[in-house]
Copies of this chain bind each other. A is one copy, B any other.
Amino acid sequence: MRKKIALDMDEVVADVMPKFLDAYEIEFGKRLLREDYWGKKVYDIPGADHIRNVLHNKGFFRDLPVMANSQEVVGELNEKYDIFFTTSAMEFRNSLEDKYDWLLDHFPFISWKKFVFCGDKSILRADYMIDDHPRNLKKFVGKGLLYTASHNTQETAYTRVNNWLEIREFFAAETP
């Protein structure tokens, strides 16, 4: 039986940051620089907490940029592992169809059978989990990889991967 990889979407294969920066700029008239938000979430900047509401907008998740090298590396891993896209979509009803369509567009070689839209990820059983949220890795029974995002830079409890080339490198050293 092939080993399973539970792969998060937002901030792992889908880049939400540009649209958050857009939302902030529309509201406050300023394009944030990396040093403005690195180490936290954009909506943790004082006065910007309501920016998070854009996540509820129909269409928000439909046109997110794909993370560099993710399609290529997921394609390679798909040869040896069962890849499941496991995303905490359920807080955002309007994201469901958008995320579905986005996955079909950008990862057409992964079947809809491997899409998982959930809330609490403690329900997942896999061998690996790649996620930007330490809270998801904490409850996970397999090997967790923390994908670097602005909000998790201080976390030291998990194996960190900074980009998809590092994920390729990590799995090159694993036994499928």
Residues of A within 8 A of B (CB): 4, 6, 84, 86, 89-91, 93, 96-97, 100-101, 111-120, 122-126, 141
3 nearest A-B residue pairs (beta carbon): A113-B119, A125-B125, A96-B96
A113 touches B117 (CB 8 A): no
- Report chain B residues within 8 Å CB of A90: 100, 112-113, 115
A117 touches B120 (CB 8 A): no
- Report chain B residues within 8 Å CB of A91: 112-113
B120 touches A114 (CB 8 A): yes
Whole-angstrom distance between the Cβ of A103 and the nearest chain B Cβ: 10
- Report chain B residues within 8 Å CB of A114: 119-120, 123
Instruction: Using A91-B112, A97-B96, A97-B97 as known contacts, say yes or no to A86 and B123 having CB atoms under 8 A apart.
Output: yes
- Report chain B residues within 8 Å CB of A141: 125
Whole-angstrom distance between the Cβ of A159 and the nearest chain B Cβ: 21
Which residue of chain B lies nearest to A95 when distances are taken between CB atoms in the complex? Answer: B96
- Report chain B residues within 8 Å CB of A120: 84, 113-114
Contact of A100 among B4, B96, B111 (CB under 8 A): B96
